[in-house]
Structure 1
Amino acid sequence: MHNTCTKYNYFLKLTLIVFVLALQACEKFEYSPYEIRLLDNERQLNQKNIDRIKEQNIPQDATITFALIADTQGYYEDTDAIVNHLNKRNDVQFVLHNGDITDFGLLKEFRLINEKLGRLKVPLVTVIGNHDAVSNGKQLYKEMYGAYDFSFVAGHSKFIFINTNNWEFNSIDLDWLEDQLADRENYDQVFVLSHIPPTSSAFGEANARRYRQLMNKYKVSMSIHGHNHSFETYQLEEGGTQYMNVGEAADEEYIVMRVSNTAVAFERVSTKEIYQ
């Protein structure tokens, strides 16, 4: 009897050890919705895609064509439709996402939306949204996508991405932004992209005032945002910088920007339209 119990305990412990080792080896097993455990191909995605854009060697005198999306948070079928529609095009060189990739900042969400957006044939670069910064989303975003504030150059244009989620981070690094704008004269076009627009109370009144001054002082070509879940273009001062709020994925559309050395044009494209 004693030997039977001893053998039973031995095999029970062995089974538990094998089970635990199997779980540790399985990347798909989720210990907690708040965990951070990424694969190598899920890390630093913005820089990897910026490198892909640089590899295109866009000429200084060429028209740059890129797409804008925002607020894909939970709209998985609509995001699929946007990706499928964009993949039928041969003119878009890259896609820029204006934040709120996720709804609750959870690993499962980051992974699921990355699987969908990762099907894009062209590079995707994104800025952090306020929903991406909840739960442990701040750390997840940083590990999966990279820095909150960054920039890159393509052809004749500079693209500056800044974290404007003031409530979640208690600050907006406008000194960094001005440093990035200081070489404005080196580029024909400069775009600033963030999630929350300066017209939102979440931006902060003092931040918004200085931000608007910077946009006009450095003659930014366009300030582009998400967050409001509806498309809108506007100017905050007559003759000043043009602003754009990109709608949510559920609007079943995306924006195509065509930027030359001297002009900026855009069109709203419905995913229900057949693209030839």
Structure 2
Amino acid sequence: MKKYLFNKFISCIVILTLIVSVGIKLYSVFTFPEIEDWNYKQIKKIDETHNSYSFAVFGDNRDSITTFNNLIHKLNKDSIIFAIDVGDLVEDGEKEKFRFFINQIKKVNKPFLTVIGNHELRENGRANYYQMFGRFYYSFTVGKSYFIILDDANEKRLDLWQLDWLKKELKKSQSYKYRFVFMHVPLYDPRKGGDKKGHSLKDVTFARYLNKLFDKYHVSMLFCSHIHGYYKGYWQNTPFIITGGAGAKLAGTDPSHYFYHYIKVNISEQGVQYEVVRLNTPDFELIDRLLHDTGMFIYAFIAIHFDIIIIIGCIYILILLYFKQDKIKIMYHA
């Protein structure tokens, strides 16, 4: 009797798994369409003739639904003309998780650009990112401002090709009034003081070199995230803002640094102003994040391994039917 009940239980689990798998696969196909060259297409939507305008910067939304959705809702009501997410878009770089993120940001009613972060590199993420978002580093202009997006997702340094490209871009940017640079991992960790190792570029010698390069070409502001909080200051002569408050778990409890937010950058003929826009932290944020992580793991696992799950399930059912048929034959002959 126990064996019979156990077999029934396993059969129900297998059938339920097959039904859920088919449902998730259909949901994935029809809800998350394939995309490519996302950033290039978003840049094309930006009106480059503006001289007075606002844009938003934020990062580290990777394991959030409620807070990140609140941020999106606020962006849609804000007077910005575009937004830049400075990396850690997803928990890891599985394609289905990128597609889930894209489904979130499709609700934004302004152009939305991305920077690659270290979490995007996991699970073959670099290839998936390139396929969906396009180039790892790129530049564009709006009015009298020059925007440079970098890839330091390896948390160490820029490769030689990118470094050569950056030098050329910085030279070109000199004819513009403002120069904004975006990269996920900061040069240094402001919590450590000076240029000591921290949650920042591991190659400190290269960080110093990059710092001098930014100083030389008078970068107006360097935007980073990676540290889940808010910091503002100067690295030598280069001003920086760390904005890692888009939804991932905050890195501390100091209310002056650790809160959910985005940065609104206001550009006019008079200059540039940086406004911190705070977001509410919901009481159920921890539960929300736990449910998100669990749900994303199950969803991504089934969506990615759908074929294997279906094959194993079908084999199990065929074996079950075979033995059941064999049992009927024995009973009939008896």
Could you say which TM-score interval applies, normalised by the shorter chain? 0.7 to 0.9
Give a deviation string over 1:31-69, Cα, whole Å, max 9, x none.
xxxxxxx844x211100100001xx2433xx22200111
1:242 to 228, 239, 242: 239
Is the Cα–Cα contact under 8 Å of residues 157 and 206 in structure 2 kept in the other structure?
no
2:39 to 46, 64, 68: 46
Structure 1 residue 264, shift from structure 2 partner: 1.7
SS in 2 for 1:198: coil
Structure 2 runs not aligned, ≥5 long:
1-21, 190-196, 248-258, 282-334
Aligned position for 2:49: 58
Q: Distance in 2 between matches of 1:85 and 1:101?
A: 18
My pick for the range that moved more, 141-150 or 263-272, is 263-272
Structure with the higher helix share, 1 or 2: 2
Is the Cα–Cα contact under 8 Å of residues 188 and 262 in structure 1 kept in the other structure?
no
Percent identity between matched residues is 27
- Counterpart check, 1:258 vs 2:258: no
Greater C-alpha radius of gyration? 2
SS in 2 for 1:160: strand
Q: Distance in 1 between matches of 2:69 and 2:154?
A: 30
Give matches, 1:93-172, under 5 Å: 93-167=81-155, 171=159
Structure 1 residue 114, shift from structure 2 partner: 1.0
So what's the TM-score if we normalise by structure 2?
0.65
Is the Cα–Cα contact under 8 Å of residues 76 and 113 in structure 1 kept in the other structure?
no
SS in 2 for 1:28: helix
Give a deviation string over 1:103-142, Cα, whole Å, max 9, x none.
1111222111111111100000111000011111101110
SS in 2 for 1:152: strand
- Counterpart check, 1:212 vs 2:211: yes
Structure 1 runs not aligned, ≥5 long:
1-21, 30-37
Aligned position for 1:270: 278
Aligned position for 1:186: 175
My pick for the range that moved more, 255-264 or 100-109, is 255-264
Pair 163,170 (structure 1): closer, same or farther in 2 beyond 3 Å: closer
Aligned position for 1:12: none
Q: Distance in 2 between matches of 1:261 and 1:212?
A: 27
Aligned position for 2:311: none
Q: How many residues align?
A: 235
SS in 2 for 1:182: helix
